[in-house]
């Protein structure tokens, strides 16, 4: 049995977890989920009934891990050999921007995509403030450094980078030069390429099946 069972859908946030699994060098078995008939094991593991859901078959028993940012952090922590966990001097940036991307950045982008506007005078109550403020902060960060923690790629780049990469591809993040350059750096990663190729092929095969 593989060390991890990975419940995913190719065109989903599961791409983030797959990239993290590849960066960590983790041994996993995928279970492709059909939205219409989700396996009972998925619901049992994750009452949100969402993907990605990861089950770690640890020697002392199974552990369930959900939420892409948590999956990234967990894999970096457990796979020390991949050297994606932050060193002491990188930890402030690592946790700060990982949580920023999973909270304010994701809320800002999803709110924008849904057409939800923060009512006039209420931005102080919204964790992301405004979409523009959140994007400005990300642009400032990525204009001054190559990676989230500075000079070195860490697992925080898988999560923050996925938000930027996905947002550029789908137009939910503006194509600012700092974002485009960061995305170019991300796309050179072997882990990015091998993980994305799997989902790309699965998406292509599913579309071919629908059309033929
Ligand atoms: N906070 C979760 C979000 C997961 C999520 O919303 N996944 C979507 C696919 S991108 C899903 O499973 N949607 C199906 C549903 O909600 O029924 C994470 O970061 O992993």
12 CB near ligand 1 (under 6 Å)? yes
Percent of the chain with pLDDT over 90: 98
Q: Which single residue is written with the structure tokens 């931005």? A: 123
Domains of the chain: 4-82 (3.40.30.10), 88-191 (1.20.1050.10)
pLDDT at residue 160, as a whole number? 98
Average pLDDT over residues 88-100: 98
Q: What pLDDT is attached to residue 56?
A: 98
User: Which pLDDT tens digit goes with each residue over 49-82?
Assistant: 999 999 999 999 999 999 999 999 999 999 999 9
Residue 155 tokens read as 């697992």
210 pLDDT band, cuts 50/70/90, is confident
Which of the listed residues 11, 33, 51 should we mutate to test ligand 1's pocket, taking the one with most ligand atoms within 8 A of CB?
51
What CA–CA distance (Å, rounded) separates 165 from 160?
Answer: 9
CB distance 50 to ligand 1 below 6 Å: yes
- Using a 6 Å cutoff on CB, does residue 65 contact ligand 1? no
Say whether pLDDT at 212 is over 80: no
Burial of 115 (0-12, 13-18, 19+ CB in 10 A): exposed
Whole-number Å distance between alpha carbons of 75 and 155: 8
Q: What separation in Å is there between the alpha carbon of 87 and the centre of ligand 1? A: 30
**Residue 109 pLDDT exceeds 80:** yes
Question: Does ligand 1 come within 6 angstroms of the Cβ of 130?
Answer: no
Three-class secondary structure assignment of the chain:
CCCEEEEECCCCCHHHHHHHHHHHCCCEEEEECECCECCHHHHHHCCCCCCCEEEEEECCEEEEEECHHHHHHHHHHHCHHHCCCCCHHHHHHHHHHHHHHHHHHHHHHHHHHHCCCCCCCCCCCCCCCCHHHHHHHHHHHHHCCCECCECCCCHHHHHHHHHHHHHHHHCCCCCCHHHHHHHHHHHCCHHHHHHHHHHHHHHHHHHHHHHC
Average confidence (pLDDT) over 108-117 = 95
Question: Residue 211 — pLDDT band, cuts 50, 70, 90?
Answer: confident
Mean per-residue pLDDT for 167-189? 97
Q: How many residues does the chain have?
A: 212
Q: Is the pLDDT of residue 192 over 90?
A: yes
Average pLDDT of the chain? 97
């Amino acid at each position: 049995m593989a060390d991890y069972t990975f419940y995913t859908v190719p065109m989903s946030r599961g791409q983030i977890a797959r990239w993290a699994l590849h960066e960590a060098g983790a041994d996993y078995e995928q279970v492709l989920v059909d939205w219409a008939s989700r396996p009972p094991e998925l619901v049992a593991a994750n009452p949100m009934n969402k993907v990605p859901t990861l089950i770690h078959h640890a020697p002392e028993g199974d552990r369930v891990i959900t939420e892409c940012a948590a999956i990234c952090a967990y894999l970096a922590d457990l796979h020390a050999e991949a050297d994606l966990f932050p060193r002491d001097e990188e930890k402030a940036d690592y946790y700060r921007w990982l949580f920023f991307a999973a909270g304010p950045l994701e809320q800002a982008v999803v709110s924008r995509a849904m057409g939800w506007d923060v009512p006039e005078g209420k931005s102080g109550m919204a964790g992301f403030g405004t979409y523009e403020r959140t994007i400005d902060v990300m642009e400032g960060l990525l204009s001054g450094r190559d990676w989230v923690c500075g000079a070195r790629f860490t697992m925080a780049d898988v999560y923050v980078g996925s938000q930027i990469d996905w947002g550029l591809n789908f137009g939910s993040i503006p194509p600012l030069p700092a974002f485009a350059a960061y995305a170019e750096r991300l796309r050179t990663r072997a882990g990015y390429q091998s993980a994305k190729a799997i989902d790309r092929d699965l998406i292509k095969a599913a579309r071919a099946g629908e059309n033929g």
